């Protein structure tokens, strides 16, 4: 892959939008994050507000079933578009509009999908949750992307949804 004007332009755009080098590399395709960083420097584009950083970590996969409660309860509040940026990683984290909307229709336990990192297919790694959200034919489509550990393809939440034992299955009715 060579740096065509278009690719450089896209690089400039994404970099200015605050995406990390690895994410930009993923979207450009054919280049490593190092390649992106190197190019950024050569273009003298470094430093965009927040310098050095790596606070994009959604820790705690929970070791016992107790932890799961937290996220479920929290999201139940309101559907404010909490545009939380995780440090330098300007991932636009928001609550899924659809799932939250159903909340008032059925105030049952575990109905809300936890925060999604809204990753594109190319951004998935071996450790990101591959639970798909939305219609694959629309722009809205994305993957959960939260930490999936190494025990499976999904995060703790989606693992429970996907591999729900028949005994625990509550008939949605």
d(CA 127, CA 111): 24
The values of phi and psi at residue 8, to 5°, are: -65, -40
64: left (phi over 0), alpha (psi -120 to 50) or beta: beta
Of the pair 35, 76, the CB lying nearest DNA is at 35
**DSSP 3-state of 95:** coil
Which spans of this chain sit near DNA (rule: CB under 7 A)?
A: 1-3, 19-23, 31-35, 37-42, 46-47, 51-57, 88-89, 125, 127
Least spacing, CB of residue 131 vs DNA, in Å: 17
Least spacing, CB of residue 86 vs DNA, in Å: 9
Of the pair 2, 167, the CB lying nearest DNA is at 2
Of the pair 1, 166, the CB lying nearest DNA is at 1
The closest alpha carbon to 132, from 161, 89, 102, 171, belongs to: 161
Of the pair 54, 166, the CB lying nearest DNA is at 54
User: Tokens 């578009």 appear where?
Assistant: 81
Least spacing, CB of residue 25 vs DNA, in Å: 9
Residue 135 contacts residue 126 (beta carbons within 8 Å): no
Of the pair 75, 89, the CB lying nearest DNA is at 89
Residue 144 contacts residue 156 (beta carbons within 8 Å): no
């Amino acid at each position: 892959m060579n740096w065509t004007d278009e690719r450089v332009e896209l690089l400039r755009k994404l970099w200015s939008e605050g995406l990390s080098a690895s994410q930009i590399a993923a979207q450009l395709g054919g280049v490593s994050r190092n390649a992106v960083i190197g190019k950024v420097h050569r273009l003298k584009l470094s430093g965009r507000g927040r310098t050095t950083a790596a606070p994009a970590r959604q820790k705690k996969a929970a070791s016992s079933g107790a932890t799961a409660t937290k996220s479920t309860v929290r999201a139940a509040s309101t559907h404010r578009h909490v545009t939380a940026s995780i440090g330098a990683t300007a991932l636009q984290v928001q609550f899924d509009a659809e799932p939250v909307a159903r909340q008032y229709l059925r105030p049952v336990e575990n109905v809300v999908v936890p925060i999604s990192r809204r990753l594109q297919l190319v951004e998935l790694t071996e450790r990101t949750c591959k639970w798909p959200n939305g219609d694959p034919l629309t722009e809205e489509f994305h993957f959960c992307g939260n930490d999936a550990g190494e025990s499976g393809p999904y995060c703790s939440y989606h693992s429970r949804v996907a591999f729900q034992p028949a005994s625990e299955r509550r008939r949605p009715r």
